[in-house]
Structure 1
């Protein structure tokens, strides 16, 4: 148990909460295709070294002067055919930037003329394949009933059409999102550390049976799932739209409070109630990839269902990994003296750093 927690903590600098994502939108009008590609500046800076003065921030001038290099990178990493035929590029739109929930993006809008009226597009996506194994592209066809595509770099051509693509891609994306979100994983870990205990005054005592511990775990996971599913749906549909920096700061705060409550219980009421409230915050964080696709109405339903199912599968995998050793160790002195206090303190310290970084725009971790 403690080895798993240490592995998660020491990997923290390499695990950003927000996955690396690019956003693709195609608008088709007969034989005309407009392609919009939004690329995160942090990804472009990593591959192209845009920060010329090395001050850790990107100015518009630094981005604009390298726009030809950005365009060349996009051309090399993304190609498409329309019904098997190549299309001809027309005059691209001027350089522009747009803020997404995960930071500023360069926006490349390019019109294409194809040989005939377009029914489907085959996308060959290779962006950042050599530098970020976790990168994904999220593509959709504007105005179509079909579902968006999750594009894996180097996976070969994938078809974007009004026929839809099934739930599989978004189930995988949901599972990958929680696997890459260290703050979500550590929040679950803090819950599971003491799910095998019960409150005893102002402290904790081991639960008498594994069955009681499993029942408590079921309450916690159910509360978290129900709560985050509500705000995930509302945020993805655009009903609520809190600032990304606020949401990320609040997520860090939930991890901090849960870890401190492990060390010395202070949150009033049953723990599942606390988890439900905190789950509302995490749900908004989960919604990011769907929010940035701009899906609305019916076209949001299946991606939302698949993505949420993937998140649940990722959570169940974390429970399956962490709960058995906690059950086995719950009555041992080392678990009380070292594992729970030590693990919870380490998680609290990391969460405090995240909270400072996200709320004050500091850079404290590599």
Structure 2
């Protein structure tokens, strides 16, 4: 197996690592307001997030950015909490008529990706060691992360489709329950990081 394939797999499977469950919770909160028919919008959101975390992941891994790991551990659940609160606030509203509300999630996803990328960087630095050409590894890892995220998003949208269509749960209720659960997990994680 090539180095590129190895890091592609590492990025893909890193998303499913239970130690990175905060990332899964963020994706859950990010997808909560959207139905399966809006999959293109969700892919755009996830890609915005990937672009953000790819930038800081590369900068931190290559040593161009220094950061406080404890602060990042606190900020990651804050990103989930903010996303969840925005979902709760907008549940039941038709945001298609509000151009600002349509663009805001993509911008926030990219900004929040910058924070999550710093969280990934310590893991990736350990994997790379003293690699002489980490650019290929960084690219492969980020592509793997994106593919993993898209699979998770597909599962979330599929579950949402079943709940909304087959079980006939109101979309507003789905958004409230999923966002409330993601926000609750984020709050617990935040409190653990603040007191730990």
Q: Which residue of 2 aligns with 1:351?
A: 186
1:244 to 51, 61, 69: 69
1:262 to 80, 83, 87: 87
Q: Is the 8 A contact 1:228 1:280 kept in 2?
A: yes
Q: Is the 8 A contact 1:246 1:359 kept in 2?
A: no
- 1-structure distance, mates of 2:24, 2:60: 21
- The CA deviation string for residues 291-310 of structure 1, in whole angstroms up to 9 with x for no partner, is 234446x4212221221122
Give the TM-score taking structure 2 as reference length.
Answer: 0.81
Q: Which residue of 2 aligns with 1:202?
A: none
Give the TM-score taking structure 1 as reference length.
Answer: 0.46
| Deviation, structure 1 residue 221 | 1.5
| Deviation, structure 1 residue 265 | 3.3
1:308 to 142, 156, 159: 142
- 2-structure distance, mates of 1:165, 1:328: 39
Aligned residues: 183
Q: Which residue of 2 aligns with 1:38?
A: none
Structure showing the higher helix proportion among its residues: 2
SS at structure 1 position matched to 2:107: helix
Residue ranges of structure 1 left out of the alignment (5+ in a row)? 1-163, 197-208, 362-366
Residue ranges of structure 2 left out of the alignment (5+ in a row)? 92-99
Larger radius of gyration: 1
More relative contact order, 1 or 2 (CA 8 Å, 6+ apart): 2
- 2-structure distance, mates of 1:182, 1:295: 28
- 1-structure distance, mates of 2:40, 2:151: 17
Poorly superposed stretches of 4+, deviation over 6 Å: none
Q: Which residue of 2 aligns with 1:173?
A: 10
Q: Which residue of 2 aligns with 1:231?
A: 56
1:187 to 1, 9, 26: 26
Q: Is the 8 A contact 2:28 2:178 kept in 1?
A: no
| Deviation, structure 1 residue 241 | 2.1
Structure showing the higher strand proportion among its residues: 1
- 2-structure distance, mates of 1:337, 1:271: 18
- 2-structure distance, mates of 1:184, 1:284: 12
